[in-house]
Chains A and B, each alone.
Chain A
C-alpha cells in the first residue's frame, strides 16, 4: 500500500463547477497535510495546509480532513480554466521532522 494515494485522473469539470480532489494516507499518526498545485513544466507550489479535523477555507479553496478515515480532500469552487493543473497531496510523517510524502497527483482539467 502506498503511503499517500490519489486518483491520477484526469478529472474533468466544466468552468464554474466544483472540483473535488481526494487523497488517502496510510500512517494514522500523520500530523499535517498539504495540497500543492503543479502546472506542466513547473515546480509544485503550496495551495493550503491543514492540521485539524474539519474544514479550512481559503478563497475558492477548501481543504477537508478526516483523521479517523485517513482522508483529506480539496474542493475548488467556481473552477476556472487556470485551475487546470496537477494537484499533489502531501503528508507529514509521524516523526514530524518536515519530511513530506507526496501522492502521485490528480490532473484536473477545467473546460470553458
Chain B
C-alpha cells in the first residue's frame, strides 16, 4: 500500500517566488496534516484538514502561507512570496480518525529559499 506521497522532494527557489508543495495522503485516510521542521523550532503543525475541511490553521505563520484540500486525495501548501526564513522541511501526514489517531508521514519536501 502506498504511503503519503509528497512532491517535490527538493526545491531551491529565489526569495519572492511562489512555492507550491503537493501531497497525496494514504487512500482512505480522512485527516491530513502539514508540518514544518527546522532545527530551531522542531516539528510544528501548520494546518490540518478533516474530511477535506480545514479544522485548525492556527499554526500557519502568516498570510503568505495558504493550504487547500480540493478532494480526499490531494492537498497543496503554497508560499507566496517565499522568504529565506521559510527554508525548512515540510512534511505532509495523514491518519484515519478513530484508528488511534496514528499519523503517517510522507518523506518531506526540502525547501531552500535563497
Contact = CB atoms under 8 A, between A and B. Distances in A.
5 contacts: A32-B100, A51-B100, A97-B48, A98-B33, A100-B45
A46 B99 CA distance: 14
Interface string B39-60: 0001111001010000110000
A100 B35 CA distance: 10
Interface of A: 32, 34, 42-46, 49, 51, 88, 92, 96-105
B43 A98 contact: no
A46 B93 CA distance: 12
A32 B99 CA distance: 12
Contacts of B44: 102
Given A44-B91, A105-B42, 5 more contacts: A32-B101, A44-B105, A49-B102, A97-B101, A99-B33
B91 A98 contact: no
